[in-house]
Amino acid sequence: MKYKNDVEALDAFVVKYKDLRNEIKKVIIGQDEVVKDVLISIFSRGHCLLVGVPGLAKTLLVNTISDALGLSYSRIQFTPDLMPSDIIGTEILDESRQFKFIKGPLFANIILADEINRTPPKTQAALLEAMQERAVTAAGVRYELAKPFFVLATQNPIEQEGTYPLPEAQLDRFMFNVWLDYPSYEDELTVVKNTTSNYSTKLNKILDAEEITLFQDLVRRIPIADNVLEYAVKLASKTRPNTSHATPDVNKFLSWGAGPRASQFLVLGAKCNAAIHGKYSPDIEDVKAVAPAILRHRIVRNYKAEAEGVSVDGIVKELMI
């Protein structure tokens, strides 16, 4: 679909986004902030890490979004014996004795990497490379992945047994780290009522791959004022201990801060957050709206912070004042 200019495209984006949210609400009860963060990730060409206990409809959420967006979807259950070739694909010898590449589940638009921290680092690295390059290499041949390409990985809390925590360098590839909480009492009543009866709903396709790519390009073209850009970059730099912008609490409680990728995601996230609310340029409040989910997995607390019960979100909240 073609639009006369970016203003017309942005107005259309607002309408499509509202339609998309309404469609998702037919299936996903509550979790409004989580849905918003996932959609911002998609339209910003980022990836999302969901952290929470099992049973909070993470799989259903991704499946619902893929249906409403009209995109192909793959779910990969990460286990300790999963190998890179299980997700990328492998070569086989066909009937004519020629090697043929059989594509793995990564060749889809939306990938649910379920319990990513339950597979060894070798397989984690294969997924994260595909996320960064949006391509995979098998037997020396490079294969481009589908566009748009979005990974939503779920992770159980680290204290559970049998996990391989993602290193900070790999966590940095994710735009958002979203914590899922239990639903409210009222939302849980609705969920239980719907899922223990014959209730079913048919979702309408709101967007297709071409429109999503168009809106992804539009988000990057949204202008941003210098003061908002400076605020985003300064916010990221404040998290780095023993630097010029670091606060006393950062120097006291953090051993490592967010890198330049955080600054990029803060700007892109602010642009998309502004766009979905019908604003033609982001302001500082848009940066603040996306900052916690972007910064929380890029900040490493030291032993003093853990001993005193200082949380990462608490530090980020202080830095945004």
Which residues are CB-neighbours of 4 under 8 A, at least 6 positions away? Answer: none
Cα distance between residue 9 and residue 17, in whole Å: 12
Identity of the amino acid at 27: V
Report all structural domains of the chain as residue ranges with CATH numbers, in order of start.
6-210 (3.40.50.300), 223-319 (1.10.8.80)
Q: Which amino acid is at 94?
A: D
**What does the angle CA 105 – CA 293 – CA 133 come to, to the nearest 5 degrees?**
35
Tokens for 277? 């609310």
Question: In tens digits, what is the pLDDT along the chain, a chain of 321 residues?
Answer: 678 888 999 999 999 999 999 999 888 888 889 999 999 999 999 999 988 877 777 888 888 888 898 888 899 998 889 998 899 988 888 777 788 888 999 999 999 998 888 888 888 888 888 898 899 887 788 889 988 999 998 887 655 666 777 877 778 889 999 988 888 888 889 888 888 887 777 888 999 889 999 999 999 999 999 999 999 999 999 999 999 999 999 999 999 999 999 999 999 999 999 999 999 999 999 999 999 999 999 999 999 999 999 999 999 999 997
pTM for this prediction:
0.91
The predicted pLDDT at position 16 comes to: 94
Supply the pLDDT for residue 183.
84
Do 78 and 128 touch, CB atoms closer than 8 A? Answer: no
Question: Residue 162: what pLDDT?
Answer: 66
Q: What pLDDT is stored for residue 66 in this prediction?
A: 87
pLDDT value of position 206: 92
Strand runs labelled E in the chain: 48-51, 73-77, 89-93, 99-103, 110-114, 135-138, 141-144, 150-155, 176-179, 254-256, 300-301
pLDDT at 204: 87
Q: How far is CA 15 from CA 9, 276, 280, 284, in A?
A: 10, 9, 14, 24
